[in-house]
Amino acid sequence: MKISIIGCGYVGTVTGVCFASFGHDIVFYDIDEKKLDLLARGESPIYEPSLEDLIQKNRQRLVTTSDLTAAVRDTDITFICVGTPSRDDGSIDLTYILSAGATIGKALRETPDFHPVIVKSTVFPGSTEGPIRSALEEASGKQAFVDFGLGSNPEFLREGNAVHDFCVPDRIVLGAGDARTMRALGDLYASFACPKIETSIRTAEMIKYTSNAFLATKISFANEIGNLAKKLGIDAEEVFAGVGLDNRIGPAFFRTGIGFGGSCFPKDVRALIAGAGDHHETLQILHAALRVNEDQPLKLVQLLQAHIPDLKGRRIGILGLAFKPDTDDIRESRAIPVIRALLDAGAVVVAYDPLAMESFSKIFPEIEYAPSAQAVLTADAVLITTEWEEFERLNYSGTTVIDGRRIAAASKTADIYEGVCW
């Protein structure tokens, strides 16, 4: 099939390149010409392991254009993959998606065939059939589900594993409001062996939010139990190894520590809470999941203060700035509240991360950035905030380590070793 991808950020690039690896022809469009230039040169506009290899291998199937009308007109199906940032109240800002919808709508005017438009961006249930549909209909002068198709196909990609998650998914969720769009989506994913859920557009949108909200809640639940386990002298890891063997529960996402970050979990949970509020529903469990997640990083600083009560002028090392290992992404990184609390207490912070120091220095120019993880170990104490593999191999002898990510090796070498949650 010929597929146009609107938006070459994380989701769009991975989706387009992976579809190409399944033999489809891709036309990428973005308002940011720099991203298109990179793709045209065979380079990835985002950091994701193995993606650039896949771009190189499929170059003949990847085309870029700054002409959106041509992209839509010359393809069989269009995926909207633009960003949906948060507003101050946690709700989703649809500005980019509506503007993409209006431009795609204009292109649909000149597209004689029935053309399905599929929303991959994460949007609150009802958004596709509501404002996005209106933007497309207004600009095209055509009717959704009759003259052009409309659907939702949410993604469940983890950063660092996105290519694998796309190519070998647990399930594929297909939402459509008309049979022709559902057929086109079915054809597109025909070679995938996993379960496929064919459903309404708003159910597909809800599955995405519910999945992320549940996983975020699972982490916060694990962290609360972990906090109690620590006080009781019980190893939370052992507890969850036992709990996770129950098939109804499962072992994943029980890693205790300083909580969840990233571009999806915090944003999606807030969006679900805000959207529920519009319908006079209070999602109490999700409110609590967020509260636990806000408190967890501060526990790391409290543990530190049990050893160094007055942090004024003390040199405190931070290992890990990315929100998780194998990414340079610092969005909602748990290192941010930890460093804020340290600076508020008057500490001098020296940090190291293998990939994320450049972006971090833009929001925290006042802290020191070390040339290596080893260099951080000369600080008065070291806090581990991201579980990069290289931090597991460090020799922490002579150091006070407060571990927010449970790096086992540290416990064997540090002079004082403490972790949150166990």
Least separation in angstroms between residue 157's CB and ligand UDX is 5
Q: Which is nearer to ligand UDX, 133 or 267 (CB)?
A: 267
260 binds ligand UDX (CB under 6 A): yes
Whole-angstrom Cα distance, residue 269 to residue 289?
Answer: 9
- Which of 219/311 has CB closer to ligand UDX? 219
Query: Which of the ranges 87-95, 250-258, 313-321, 343-351 carries the binding residues for ligand UDX, by CB under 6 A?
Result: 250-258
From the list 17, 157, 342, 420, which residue makes contact with ligand UDX (rule: CB under 6 A)? 157
Q: Is residue 159 within the footprint of ligand UDX (CB under 6 A)?
A: yes
18 counts as catalytic: no
Site of tokens 């002028």: 313
Q: Is 261 annotated as a binding residue?
A: yes
Residue 254 assigned to a binding site: yes
Residue 269, interface with ligand UDX (CB under 6 A)?
A: no
Could you tell me which of 358, 354, 417 has the C-alpha nearest to residue 386? 354
Side by side, the strands of the sheet bearing 2-6 are 62-65, 25-29, 2-6, 77-80, 116-119, 149-152, 172-176, 196-199
What is the Cα gyration radius of the chain? 23
Q: Which of 19, 265, 360, 396 binds ligand UDX (CB under 6 A)?
A: 265
Interface with ligand UDX by CB under 6 A: which range of 20-28, 80-88, 157-165, 230-238? 157-165
Q: Which is nearer to ligand UDX, 155 or 353 (CB)?
A: 155
Is 417 one of the binding residues for ligand UDX (CB under 6 A)? no
Q: Which residues contact 80 (CB under 8 A, 6 or more apart)?
A: 6, 7, 97, 100, 101, 104, 117, 118, 119, 120, 121, 132
Residues 205-244 that bind ligand UDX (CB under 6 A): 212, 219
Q: Is 286 annotated as a binding residue?
A: no
Measured distance CA(360)–CA(291) in Å, rounded: 24
**Site mask for ligand UDX (CB under 6 A), range 107-146, x = bound:** ----------------------------------------
Asked if 45 and 64 touch (Cβ cutoff 8 Å), the reply is: no
Residues of this chain that interact with ligand UDX (CB under 6 A) are 155-159, 212, 219, 253-255, 257, 259-262, 264-265, 323-324
